[in-house]
A and B are shown apart, each in its own frame.
Chain A
Amino acid sequence: MKNMWKVTVTNPLGQEVYDLILEEKDGLIEGIIQEPRGMISLSGKIINDSIVLSGDTEFPMKTSVELIINSNNLNISNFEGLVSVGPYVKMSLSGARS
């Protein structure tokens, strides 16, 4: 079953809203984060009380992306978390089921 949220990423330059779509398969979590300029595939799993997802992108810059969602399951309406881009930036993340 696919789970969809609107996620808002916030940093000192502003905010941006993306679509996050995740599903659980055989204990692993896979999905995408969709933004106006493209899509990033994500994969990961639940680690302790967090869902930890990672992926790579080439555009608009070549880098890795990691999402940490503060929940131990996908059956949630709202969540908070962090998104990291490469080793150089962490931004706050909030999600609301859509």
Chain B
Amino acid sequence: MTTSAHNISLMSIDQSFDIMDSLRGKVSLITNISSKLGYTPKCSPVWSFARTSKYLWELQTIHDMFKDRGFSVVGVPCNQFGKMEPKENDEINSFIKEAYPFVTFPISEKIEVNGKNEHPLYDFLKGPQKRAYSDTTADGSQAAKDGQNLAGQAIARIPHNYEKFLLSREGIMVCRFNWQDGPLDEEPRVMGAGWTITEAIDELLG
């Protein structure tokens, strides 16, 4: 198995370049995204749009904050959480440009981050930090029925949109942040070894 995420190919959403290869020498934050967060018939389109905008805006803010020091956020569209990203790459790309024009950080092709079709990048990212807690909340979920979440096992799974992995300049996974850890949070919340996301990025950038 490779020792660097930079050796695993992940194409940009327009298929024009290999994002992971382009990150060599940079610190990066990889996060699975949905461009239509919470967009189900029961959800308010206004608040779904506001929530998605907030998540993407915060990611863009830290991308801008650190990019001159050799940092990049990477957004990875995924349709495995509430089927919130059902469209194809070109449609997702167009929608992000229209709805969230402030986003300039790279967006990858749509991939799966859990299950039998999990992209090799996520196999790499989850590797050193397999979660070892009872995943009973997944028991009745559609995701569990689809084989994404195997309850009660020590598994490595992405539980939600906006799980974040911080990679070193060498492509080594250093820190993982739960979706509840906001990019601009001033106090650490769930994971991340007691660091906030910005503290961890700053530390890695040196």
Identify which of A12, A36, A60, A61 contacts B95 (C-beta below 8 A): A12
Bound complex: CA of A12 vs CA of B36, how far in Å? 10
**Chain B residues with Cβ under 8 A from A63's Cβ?**
50, 54
**Chain A residues with Cβ under 8 A from B49's Cβ?**
11-13, 89, 91
How many A-B contacts are there with CB distance less than 8 Å? 58
Contact pattern, B 86-100, Cβ under 8 Å of A = 1, otherwise 0: 000000000100110
Task: Count contacts on B: residues with CB < 8 A to the other chain.
Answer: 19
A25 CB–B CB distance under 8 Å: no
Bound complex: CA of A91 vs CA of B53, how far in Å? 11
A2 CB–B CB distance under 8 Å: no
A74 CB–B CB distance under 8 Å: no
Task: Count contacts on A: residues with CB < 8 A to the other chain.
Answer: 19
Give the interface of A toward B (CB within 8 A).
Answer: 9, 11-16, 35-37, 60-61, 63, 85-89, 91
Identify which of B36, B44, B54, B58 contacts A16 (C-beta below 8 A): B44
Answer whether A60 and B44 are a contact pair too, CB < 8 Å, given A12-B98, A13-B39.
yes
